[in-house]
Structure 1
């Protein structure tokens, strides 16, 4: 699942590819909600390759979760 995070006053989005299951999605939503509410200063994400990404909670403008069944499409087809 692809997660796109927009940061305030930054022109590029942070894109992280994470495991795609319901438990991971629920955990991520909880972590994002805590960061947006100010309960945690930093949102930590771990991608599929094990790399960790830290995003300052105070700078998060938006978070977009990819659909659970979205696969990367190549070419011009649907």
Structure 2
């Protein structure tokens, strides 16, 4: 699933694919904001950690869970 994070005063978004569920991402962001944690930490689909200061968050867009792909592409 794709996660896009808008950062205040920065023209580019932080975009990455995550193996986390939409609910897990939502919960991590909500918890960081409600507890006033200094950062929110999320995992990308390669196991890397994305850390963003909560004070700079403009928005977090959580994409839909990937479904099985249909087509003629190679696997």
Scaled to the shorter chain, the TM-score interval is: 0.7 to 0.9
User: Gaps (5+ residues) in structure 2?
Assistant: 70-75
State the match for 1:62 in structure 2.
59
User: Gaps (5+ residues) in structure 1?
Assistant: 73-78
Q: TM-score, length-normalised on structure 1?
A: 0.74
Deviations 1:19-59 (A, max 9, x none): 15xxx322211111123335311111111111111100110
Conserved 8 A contact 2:2-2:16: yes
Larger gyration radius, structure 1 or structure 2: 2
State the match for 1:10 in structure 2.
10
Task: Give the number of equivalent residue pairs.
Answer: 69
Partners of 1:37 and 1:60 in 2: how far apart? Answer: 13
Q: TM-score, length-normalised on structure 2?
A: 0.77
